């Protein structure tokens, strides 16, 4: 589902300038830009009220945006303030606008009622602003419903199969290390659903072993917090007697359409911050190639298969405890939202 009265992440703050750019968010074409005079961040419907040309092809003039087709000018609220050759412009000549804020280096767009805007609903990601840690931001584009991309993160057991030779391990593979039992706890607070998943005595794959500078068995703990619409904050702790490292990887999914999504990822480490392995560039290369070559292809294939097989019912397994809890929470939130709008 797509939530109303929620923040949707639409871009990294540094992606938006006085050069207008389009992003389709929840099926809505939106133009994003900063005004030239005050540098204010603006999000409008991406159309001119005159003849529907996209404002993203226009140009920012002062604190306004001019449609390049016939020169009509809209201000930062979407109100048309100038039509060439006309002395007056009716107040009804306007396009819709969206509240936008910058937090944690990302741009968040509010879809919902303007009087319910609440910055407290943006997930906390303090670690992205901590000088003792280093964050890398990566943007992906996925041809699948954003829920399928989120579900990927809600069942981290995939990391020992899909990522067995990159991020993960072979823990859980039959006849290899299936003596390793995973512990998985989940609980809800407010709108969030949380889980802790611990695996002990894990032999890591080479990439993960290099992060932790160990080739000995480790305890691998994932603390995950899901908040609506589909923000997933994961704290990964890898530790043994030799070493302990912590990685926050934050995954923010935003629907483009019902079958495609924007996927923003921030990977924050508390080790090798100023030198050593991995550098920011190493992180970017590793994450881009593994998520791009392992996660996204299988999620897109899932999407295609759901269409080709006419949406068959999934069969949950023991690993789906957290995913199931989140799906139930989504259904509850949907029901609450309907009741509120009916009231």
Residues contributing to the site for its own copies (CB under 8 A): 29, 45-47, 49-54, 57, 61, 66-73, 82-86, 93, 151, 155, 157-158, 160-162, 172-174, 178, 181-182, 297-298, 301-302, 305-306, 308-309, 312, 314-319
Do the beta carbons of residue 53 and residue 67 sit within 8 Å? yes
Q: Which is nearer to its own copies, 54 or 217 (CB)?
A: 54
CB of 311 to its own copies, least distance (A): 9
Closest CB to its own copies among residues 83, 102: 83
Smallest distance, its own copies to C-beta of residue 128, A: 29
Taking every pair of Cα atoms in the chain, the longest distance, rounded to a whole number of angstroms, is 80
Q: Tell the smallest beta-carbon distance from residue 160 to its own copies (Å).
A: 7
Task: Give the residue with the Cβ less far from its own copies, 50 or 223.
Answer: 50
Nearest approach, Cβ of 37 to its own copies (angstroms)? Answer: 14
Read off the DSSP letter of residue 79. B
Instruction: Specify the residue, 313 or 342, whose C-beta has the smaller distance to its own copies.
Output: 313
Least distance (Å) from its own copies to the CB of residue 234? Answer: 17
Q: Which is nearer to its own copies, 161 or 201 (CB)?
A: 161
CA 92-96-100 angle, 5° bins: 140
Of residues 149 and 212, the one with the C-beta less far from its own copies: 149
For residue 148, CA distances in Å to 92, 152, 172, 238, 299 come to 40, 6, 22, 27, 6
List the structure tokens of 86: 């006309």
CB 197 → its own copies: shortest distance, Å? Answer: 11
Q: Which residues have a Cβ under 8 Å from the Cβ of 88 and sit 6 or more positions away?
A: none
Tokens for 71, please give them.
């020169």
DSSP string, 265-330: EEEEESSSSSSSSS-HHHHHHHHHHHIIIIIHHHHHHHHHHHHHTT-PPP---GGGHHHHHHHHHH
| Min dist. Cβ of residue 241 to its own copies (A) | 26
Whole-angstrom distance, CA of residue 165 vs CA of residue 159? 9
Q: What is the DSSP string of 28-45?
A: EEEEEEE-TTT--EEEEE
Nearer to its own copies, 301 or 331 (CB): 301
- Closest by CA to 31, choosing from 46, 18, 42, is 46
Output the smallest distance, CB 82 to its own copies, in A: 5
Q: Is 310 left (phi over 0), alpha (psi -120 to 50) or beta?
A: left
258 vs 26: CA distance, rounded Å = 8
Q: Which is nearer to its own copies, 248 or 251 (CB)?
A: 251
């Amino acid at each position: 589902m797509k939530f109303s009265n929620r923040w949707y992440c639409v871009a990294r703050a540094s992606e938006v300038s006085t050069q207008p750019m389009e992003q389709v968010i929840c099926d809505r074409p939106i133009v994003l830009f900063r005004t030239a005079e005050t540098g204010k961040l603006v999000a409008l419907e991406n159309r001119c009220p005159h003849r529907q040309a996209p404002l993203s092809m226009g140009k920012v003039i002062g604190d306004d945006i001019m449609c390049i087709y016939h020169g009509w000018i809209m201000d930062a609220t979407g109100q048309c303030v100038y039509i060439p050759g006309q002395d007056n412009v009716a107040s009804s000549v306007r396009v819709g606008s969206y509240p936008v804020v910058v937090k944690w280096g990302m741009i968040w767009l509010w879809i919902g009622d303007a009087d319910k805007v609440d910055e407290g609903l943006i997930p906390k990601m303090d670690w992205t602003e901590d000088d003792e840690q280093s964050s890398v931001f990566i943007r992906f584009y996925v041809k699948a419903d954003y829920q399928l991309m989120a579900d990927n993160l809600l069942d981290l057991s995939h990391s020992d199969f899909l990522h067995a030779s990159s991020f993960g391990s072979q823990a859980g593979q039959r006849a290899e290390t299936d003596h390793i039992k995973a512990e998985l706890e989940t609980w809800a607070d407010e709108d969030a659903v949380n889980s802790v998943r611990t695996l002990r005595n894990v032999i890591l794959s080479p990439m993960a072993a290099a992060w932790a500078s160990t080739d000995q068995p480790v305890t691998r703990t994932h603390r995950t917090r899901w908040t609506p619409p589909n923000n997933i904050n994961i704290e990964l702790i890898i530790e043994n007697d030799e070493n302990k490292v912590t990685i926050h990887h934050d995954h923010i999914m935003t629907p483009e359409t019902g079958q495609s999504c924007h996927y923003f990822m921030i990977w924050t480490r508390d080790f090798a911050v100023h030198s050593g392995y991995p550098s920011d560039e190493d992180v970017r290369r590793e994450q881009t190639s593994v998520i791009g070559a392992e996660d996204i292809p299988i999620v897109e294939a899932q999407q295609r298969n759901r269409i080709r097989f006419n949406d068959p019912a999934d069969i949950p397994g023991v690993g789906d405890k957290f995913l199931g809890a989140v799906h139930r929470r989504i259904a509850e939130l949907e029901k609450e939202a309907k009741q509120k709008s009916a009231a």
